[in-house]
Structure 1
Amino acid sequence: MPSTTFRIGKDLTVGRLGFGAMHLPTERPGDRPSAVAVARRAVELGITLIDTAHLYGAGANEEVLAEAREIVDIASVQNRYNLTDREHEPVLAACEAADIAFLPWRTVAWGKAGDRAEVAAVAAELDATPTQVCLAWLLARSPVVLPIPGTSSIAHLEENTAAADLALTPELRGRLDGIAASA
């Protein structure tokens, strides 16, 4: 089973399954209670890594999460990376070599990775969802990978979080690894 924590910048230990806050609703004043509820539930579920950016809601997302950051050495890199889109393998390899956190975004390929027959088959064998299989594959891919799937739904958040407990056998990982070659 893959490690469940990662030390960012050698100083901060976080859980390897994070929360991408990009989907938190922030457009209307009435959205704030729902956004805060999802963020609080993420913390209650043990998530210690939350990704945010000014781009998410023109800063409103950062205000919801109340982050005040400072400039430091590179602690993590974010690139699009998932079971079916591995364009940034060289970046992941560089992160592994330097022990830098690699935070893949679009972790479940907009939910379309489950359209692949092999992903659906593995999910059925594990009594899991295709999304959980994709997240478990990312966690098993490298100890520096810290997925940040986003959602505005507590049910999806709980489903995503449960993926950290999904163990992929070497045989299942091999079947999933083969997907990119056939893509």
Structure 2
Amino acid sequence: MGNTTFKLGELEINRLGYGAMQLTGNGVFGEVEDRENAIKVLQEAVANGVNFIDTAEAYGPKFNESLIADALHPYKHDLLIATKGGFDRPGPNNWVPNGNPEKIRQDIEGSLQRLKVDSIDLWQLHRIDPKVNVGDTLAPVIEAVKEGKIKYVGLSEVTIDQIKQVQDLLPILSVQNMYNLANRQWESVLDFTDEQGLAFIPWFPLASGPAKLEDKIKAIAEKHQATTAQIALAWLLKRSSNILLIPGTKSTAHLKENLKATEIELTDAEFESLAK
């Protein structure tokens, strides 16, 4: 891949990062089963050149951020850790948006403590809460930016109109929407972020989708002596130069396999055939 980095704020980010969500209990709830292994996976990721790690207050909740600090603190100077706030977690697989400014303030303060930092590199609003005015939700974020507690701000699962609405209130650096070969409902948001020079961070990048797509990926994978996961990631890297990838895994072998996706050069014809 020619273009393996993206400038996020003042940092050159390797476009293949790591999403830590899986390093939690079942249903993204509670502590990860094998904590020692989870720490090893995080350390291996950084040792193999990952300098963008994505987490959230809601993962665990709270356990995931503490795990990252245990594994990686003191952080390498060029490592960017992104977190999120704005979800209540009543139980496993249960996610309830909460844009109450008091909740947001607590999330920010809690993240600072758990990650053991004075300033959060990238803080993302996990969801816009339809029950709360987004200006109210973001008031504590704007305050935290002024105080130097947050360097950059991002959004998750948003429309173009919502991005513009937030941009009227404060600058944003990134958008994290669901996007993969099988689910491209946010195509227009991706193109908009590219035009704006914002990072686009697809979550769930490895959904393989319908069987006919899997067959197509498999054929291309065999040609490149690659795995289907590597091809799905390589396609995303080629799709747009502002895409940052955060595949997650609990296995160091799978981690290294994912990171090799940057070495795969899909031809335009292969790219087009998968895009159909």
TM-score (norm 1): 0.89
Aligned to 2:22: 23
Q: CA deviation at 1:116?
A: 2.0
Aligned to 1:166: 264
% of aligned pairs identical?
Answer: 42
Is residue 94 of structure 1 aligned with residue 93 of structure 2? no
| Structure 2: runs of 5 or more not aligned | 70-114, 121-148, 153-170
Aligned to 2:206: 108
The question of whether the paired residues in 2 share the 8 Å contact of 1:132 and 1:163 is answered with: yes
Q: CA deviation at 1:33?
A: 1.6
The question of whether the paired residues in 2 share the 8 Å contact of 1:119 and 1:133 is answered with: yes
Q: 1:60-97, CA deviations, whole angstroms, 9 ceiling, x for partnerless residues?
A: 11111123313334221101000111101111111101
The one-letter code sitting in structure 1 at the alignment partner of 2:269 is: E
* Match 1:34 to one of 34, 37, 59: 37
Change in Cα spacing, 1:113 to 1:43, as seen in structure 2 (3 Å) is farther
Q: Which moved more, 1:131-140 or 1:31-40?
A: 31-40
Aligned to 1:181: none
Q: For 1:140 and 1:163, how far apart are their aligned partners in 2?
A: 11
The one-letter code sitting in structure 2 at the alignment partner of 1:97 is: E
Q: For 1:123 and 1:134, how far apart are their aligned partners in 2?
A: 9
Q: For 1:14 and 1:107, how far apart are their aligned partners in 2?
A: 18
The one-letter code sitting in structure 1 at the alignment partner of 2:6 is: F
Q: CA deviation at 1:168?
A: 0.4
Q: 1:150-181, CA deviations, whole angstroms, 9 ceiling, x for partnerless residues?
A: 10111110110111111101111111111xxx
Q: For 1:25 and 1:33, how far apart are their aligned partners in 2?
A: 12
Aligned to 1:55: 58
* Match 1:132 to one of 230, 247, 264: 230
Q: CA deviation at 1:4?
A: 0.6
Q: For 1:129 and 1:29, how far apart are their aligned partners in 2?
A: 27
TM-score (norm 2): 0.60
Q: For 1:21 and 1:13, how far apart are their aligned partners in 2?
A: 20
Q: Which moved more, 1:60-69 or 1:150-159?
A: 60-69
Greater Cα radius of gyration, structure 1 or 2: 2
